[in-house]
Every structure is written in structure tokens, then in C-alpha cells.
Structure 1
Amino acid sequence: MQTKTFSLKNVSASFFAGLFLCVSATMVGMSGVHFYAGFADEIDFVSAVIRAVNDLFIALATYELAMGIFKEYRHSEEDDLFLSIRRTVTRFVSVVVIALVLEGLIMIIKYSQLDLAGNLFYPVAVVIAASVLLISLGVFLYLTGSKHALPAE
């Protein structure tokens, strides 16, 4: 039978993971509110749906952050911390890249509908930044691969 130790590290990890889970749940609720507000006459339905989707992506990223904190700081001694961090970083950065690309595409659609072609460099910059982040993730995964990892001393 395994006993649980109540250290400051475990309590802090649980607190912050719970805090980020609460933020994630709040964002899911706000997504529902924004979606429901789209049925009002004075608000454009497409804009409300876009706002709801944005809220859901923020909720997903916050949820991934909470799970990463929980796994990273509350792992058992049997778990390989290196692989756990590698998996957590990959999942979190992947969610952020998806959110950035979708936000950039939504901004492109919105600006083109409003005839604001002069402002298109903002969403293009967001998509380029997401591309750089994705390339950086690929470099991170390549350098932390098992055949490239530094030997333990």
C-alpha cells in the first residue's frame, strides 16, 4: 500500500492545477454565454460563434496547463520525469499553435468581410508566429529525442 506524502510541493501543485481547472471551467461557461448571446438580435451570430470557439480554445489550453502542472509536480518516483515533461510541453504547445492559427484565420476572415485589407498584416503575423512556434517545437522534439539526449552522469 502506498502512502501519500503531504509536502509543500504536492500541495502547491494541487492548488495551482485546481486553480487552472477552475479557470478552464469558467471559460467553458463563458463560451456558452457568448454562444447563447449570438441569438440576440443586436449581436452578429457568426461573431458570437467565433468568440465562443476562441473561449473554448483558451479553456483547452488552460486545461492542458493544469494537467501538465499536476503531472509534472506530482509524479511518482517510478515515472520518467523527462518523458513526462516532453509529453506535456508537446501537448501544451500544440494546443497553443492550433489556437493561434485559428485566431489568425478568423481575423483574416473578419478583416476581409469588413474591407479592412490594410490590417491584414496582424493576422498574418499571428500565423507566422504560430509557424515559428511549431518549428521550435519540432526542434525541441528532435533535440530531446532518445538518440540525441545527453547521457546521464
Structure 2
Amino acid sequence: MNESITSFMRNIFSKALTIIFLLLAGAIIFSLIQHVVNGLINKADLTEVLLKSINIGVIALAVFELALIINKEYSEPGDHHHKDAIQTLRGTLPRFIGTVCVALSLEGLIMVIKYSQLDLAGNLYYPVAIIASTAFLLISLGVFLRLTDQSSEAIESKQVTEEK
């Protein structure tokens, strides 16, 4: 009885969060279109409009990916509570972290371009910190994947040995 209530609540919350994140992704895409139209109408610098648009689009993609991950991992029927948590993370985390890293890299590169065009080389600490943090995040993801790959192999070999 208690497990069915938990499963029901889990399904309700995952659907609600999926809808919320999908709506947010839609709102970000609407903001992207509005930004491009305003930039073209006001005859703003096309390069700046395009770079900002790419940044906004990648953020929308990250939010959309989050909605898909929540929907897939928490609302699909099945024995998700019996599924190995590390395997679940290995399946979903790289895509999401990859999208976030693209967004952060673009933000840092856009700031570097902007500051170099304005001759504000003294303000490069912030974009360099963003790019370095992105590199650290990617390295951390690689370490996580490497370590969990070894632990997965150890668990599988232990299960095979126990079955014999």
C-alpha cells in the first residue's frame, strides 16, 4: 500500500516538474525569438545578436534536456527503485553536463570577444574563471565516468561469480 502511494506521488511530481521545465524551455525559446527580432529591428550588431542567441538557445536546450531526464527517469513505469543509481547517473548525467558545459563555454567565449572588442582586458578574470570552471566540470565528469565504469565492472564480475 505504502509503495503504491509513493509510486503515485513520484509519478505526479515527475509529471509536474516535466511540464514546468518544458514550459520554461518554451519561454526561453520565445525570449530567443524576441531577442533576434528586436536585434534586427533595432539594427544591433549582428554578431552580438547571434552570439547571444546561441547562448540563449543552449540554455533552452539544457532546460529541455532536464525535462526529458526527469520524465524518463522518474515517471516511466517499471522497477526504477531497483535500478542501480550509478547506472542511472551514467546514462543521464553526461548529456546534461555536456549541454551545461557548452552553455558555459559559449558564455565565457562571448565575454572574451566582447571584452577584447571594448579593450577591457582587465575584465577577463570572469570569463577565464567560467572557462576554467567548465574545464574542471568536464574533467570531473570524466573522472566520475571512469570510476563508475570500474565499479560497474567489479559489481558485474561479482554477480557472475555469485551466480556460478
Q: TM-score, structure 2 length as denominator?
A: 0.81
Where 2:47 maps in the other structure, the secondary structure is: helix
Aligned to 1:66: 67
Question: Aligned residue for 2:148?
Answer: 144
In structure 1, what residue type is equivalent to 2:103?
Answer: A
Query: CA–CA distance in 1 between the matches of 2:23 and 2:107?
Result: 23
Q: Distance in 2 between matches of 1:148 and 1:131?
A: 29
Q: Indicate the RMSD between aligned Cα atoms, in angstroms.
A: 2.2
Structure with bigger gyration radius: 2
User: What is the correspondence of 1:3-152 to structure 2 with a 5 Å cutoff?
Assistant: 7-41=8-42, 43-77=44-78, 80=83, 82=85, 83-145=87-149, 146-147=152-153
How far did residue 17 of structure 1 move? 0.6
Residues in 2 aligned to 1:57 and 1:93: alpha-carbon distance in whole angstroms? 12
Q: CA deviation at 1:44?
A: 2.5
| Cα drift, residue 43 of structure 1 | 2.8
Secondary structure at the aligned position of 2:40 is classed as: coil
Query: TM-score by structure 1 length?
Result: 0.86
Unaligned runs of 5+ residues in structure 2 are: 160-164
Using the alignment, how far apart are the partners of 1:128 and 1:120 within structure 2? Answer: 12
Shift of 1:35: 1.0
Q: Match for 1:117: what amino acid?
A: A
- Which whole-Å CA distance do the structure 1 matches of 2:84 and 2:102 have between them? 26
